[in-house]
Structure 1
Amino acid sequence: MRVRRGFTLIELLVVIAIIAVLVAILLPAVQQAREAARQSQCRNNMKQVGLALFNYEEQNGAFPIGATGGQRGANWFVRILPFIDQKAGYDRVDFSAGSFYGHVSLQPILATLKVPIFVCPSSPNGYSSPNATITSYAGGSMLMDYVGIAGAYPDPAATPRTATVCTAGQVQGGYYCENGGLIGFRAKSLRDFKDGSSNAMLVGEQSGQVNGTENSSNALGGWYGIVANTMVRSDGGTTWDGATPVSAITSSSGYTGGLTTVRHPINSYWLQGAPSSANSPYEANYILNSYHTGGIEALFADGSVHFLSESLHMPTLLKISSIDDGAIPGEF
């Protein structure tokens, strides 16, 4: 009679140990493959944003402006909706109704509209910030993982133009400049990119908003433009619009929705203490960040998307954030 022999306890433990070792070896590779796929989709989303911007520029002769209506108007994300198969939603937007910030109660279509290409799959935040204590987030306004480049501070030209292309004073603690390609109340075209379209960053990533507390241009929701509150102008004016020289702004407690003026290194996050979701000392200079390892994806004015390392030399980052400084950026 043949006796069946089972596994001994030692043999079973050996098998379990082998399986555990294989899992430990393969799991990081699987996770890396998944992140690579997410990052690839993030890059593709940014390319789609670029196509929408270029189609808008071709049809209108210039890129969309980043703000309208003096303050709290629509930003450039709203303007490109018809070029990303969202014309039905765009047609329901009431540009005469006023405010596009916060819970967008005056813009009910935008309170519920979720656009996949405005989100980077690598970010765990999805369409909305987990920090729902902020009224604008709690109201449902989607969170944008990309941000338009308004310029660089200080101006990187050989003879700096900071005094003429940037605000004279701080905007909620930061400095807003208009030496970039997507700015507030004035539209720029590809003709304005004197440094060459391949040397100018048009849109950067801001998907690394840590647990919803890392400040970004979504501070009051994803659809608003410049919010010019408590503004002081050197010429005595009281508005901030296309007729206002940016250098006339001596102070403001406003926000620059959808736009950032590059001032800090990539993925550097906050340089002082714990970040807050609003009223931070870095308004207007939202840091380019992501959940990718080592850097961010960035759209350039020639339609290409590049991965920019977080160790990128700061002078180079400033040069590619300006479109007409005359400086050679070097490798990036």
Structure 2
Amino acid sequence: MNRNPSVRRAFTLVELLVVIAIIGVLVGLLLPAVQAAREAARRMSCSNNFKQIGLAIHNYHSAYSQLPVQGGGTGLAVGATAAWEDTALGNNQRLSMLVGLLPFFEQQALWEQISNPQVNNGFPAMGPTPENTNYGPWGANIPALRCPSDPGDGLPALGRTNIAASLGDSIVRSWLGTKNELLVRTTTDAQQARAACRGFFTPRETSRFRDILDGLANTICVGEIATDLGDNSVSTRSVEVADETVYLNPSACLPNADPTRPRFWGVTPQGGSGFARGFRWADSGPMYTGVMTILPPNSELCNGDSSTLGAPDQAKEVVATASSRHQGGCHILMGDGAVKFITDSIEAGTSRTADSTTSAMVRTGGTLTSAPGSRSPYGLWGSLGTRASKETISEEF
């Protein structure tokens, strides 16, 4: 039987709605898988950046028989009255270890700009202090220092970094190290630094692989940090308490978090828009390029007031917690070059205990678990951050 050619067949409304519904379900199932695959690729790229930095550190040590200095550069600039003073005449030994590493991870051109004076602009060799916005190299965006999962970009930061030096399990002397504000080594400062600066890098001091007595495979070299997005996140901005308060209780700032949004501060963070995580790759300040194994990854930041020195925010001693934009943890680079992903739930001992007899940081004058030479009070996480405390690491991480 021949069909009437004038009759057209089409989808009914019900059939069309069913097809749309099926497509919507498929898209809903597919998108999370696509996002997960993209994050896996970003995480792998981030891990590769850490491997590149690890190789650079080992090549640097092979070339110079020492580690790059966290807090290196030229001495106190002419006319400067303190190391934290902003000056165009020198860098006041405020450069991060990343500056010295530049030629070892394919940034020779940038290194040559920094190591040579810019006569026309009035900048000396090794540049001005790292907050100087007129000095081009400090604002460079270096891909090897960035994690693709971190969307942070642009002002008010200069050149951002997601890679930071491991400074140990105590914030005491974590900015000046063995020296005073005039960059003069004093007996008292050196004694305090020897007791408290127990990480892979010691601020403003030369160190070598031989100093890592706990073993390169058991000591964190650098860690991952998330850069600030201007949202008052507890892991990228800091609030302030008295020095002695945070020495005794690393969690002293936690009550300032917003109770309805605990990942964000409920008070105004410290230091304005410039005092934020990862905002200056060239600055040795703990807020910018430091990591400490005190609070677990992605916990809050907390700084002391440094009132005895009258220091500005850039010179604060900060509980510089590791963090990332990855789900559930962050990357660390061990001294032997191995890259590991540490979860937020790593065992961190007494770091969350507001009991000064057990949670206090190791320092000169400390007693019980905080006495100089003690094993880290912060469990497995703290043990991974110390270079020569003789802890036995028998757990998987």
Match of 1:44 among 45, 48, 51: 48
C-alpha separation between the residues in 2 aligned to 1:282 and 1:28?
A: 41
Q: 1:280 deviation in Å?
A: 9.9
Structure with bigger gyration radius: 2
**Residue identity (%):** 29
2:245 corresponds in structure 1 to none
- Tell me the SS of whatever aligns to 1:331: coil
Q: Does residue 117 of the first structure (1) align with residue 144 of the second (2)?
A: yes
- Against the structure 1 CA distance between its residues 217 and 270, is the aligned structure 2 distance closer, same or farther, given a 3 Å change threshold? closer
Aligned match of 2:291 in 255, 260, 285? Answer: 260
How far apart are 1:10 and its partner, in Å?
Answer: 0.6
Equivalent residue number for residue 129 of structure 2:
100
User: What is the DSSP-based 3-state SS (H/G/I as helix, E as strand, rest coil) of the residue aligned with 2:168?
Assistant: strand
Structure number with greater CO (CA < 8 Å, separation at least 6) is 1
1:154 touches 1:263 (CA, 8 Å); kept in 2?
A: no
User: 2:386 matched to 1:322?
Assistant: yes
Q: Give yes or no for the alignment of 1:147 onto 2:206.
A: no
Cα distance in 1 for partners of 2:316, 2:126 equals 30
State the Cα distance separating 1:97 from its structure 2 match. 6.0
State the alpha-carbon separation in 1 of the partners of residues 335 and 40 from structure 2. 24
Deviation at 1:183, TM superposition (A): 2.4
Gaps of 5+ in 2: 77-82, 84-91, 118-123, 173-188, 238-274, 304-311, 349-378
For residue 287 of structure 1, what is the amino acid of its counterpart? T
Q: For 2:196 and 2:161, how far apart are their aligned partners in 1?
A: 21
Q: Which amino acid aligns with 1:100?
A: T
- Residue 89 of structure 1 is matched in structure 2 by 110
With 262-271 and 78-87 compared, the bigger mean Cα shift is at: 262-271
Quote the Cα distance in structure 2 between the aligned partners of 1:190 and 1:13. 67
**TM-score, normalising length from structure 2?**
0.62
Within 5 Å, which residues of 2 pair with 1:68-87?
Answer: 68=72, 69-70=75-76, 71=83, 72=92, 73-87=94-108
Residues 126-175 of structure 1, C-alpha deviations (whole Å, 9 max, x = no match): 4x3xxx4x4xx2xxx211111100111289xxxxxxx987559xxxxxxx
Q: How many residues align?
A: 273
RMSD: 2.9
Alpha carbons of structure 1 residues 37 and 97: separation in structure 2 relative to 1, 3 Å:
closer
Aligned to 2:355: none
Alpha carbons 2:301, 2:318 under 8 Å: kept: no
Judged with a 3 Å threshold, the aligned counterparts in structure 2 of structure 1 residues 177 and 115 are, in CA distance, closer, same or farther, namely farther
Which residue in the other structure is 1:288 paired with? 322
**2:262 paired residue number:** none
Q: Quickly say closer, same or farther: Cα 1:259–1:177, change in 2 above 3 A.
A: farther
| 8 Å contact kept, 1:150–1:177 | no
| Aligned counterpart for 1:224 among listed residues 283, 290, 294 | 283
Q: What's 2:87 paired with?
A: none
TM-score of the pair, normalised by structure 1: 0.74
Which residue does 2:206 correspond to in 1?
A: 187
For structure 1, the residue ranges without an aligned partner over 5 or more in a row are: 156-162, 169-175, 227-254, 273-277
Superposed CA deviations along residues 174-208 of structure 1, whole A, max 9, x for unmatched, are: xx942111221112211111111111110001025
Which aligned pairs between 1:300-311 and structure 2 lie closer than 5 A? 300-311=334-345
Distance 1:294 1:59, change over 3 A: same
**d(CA) in 2 for partners of 1:144 and 1:210?**
13
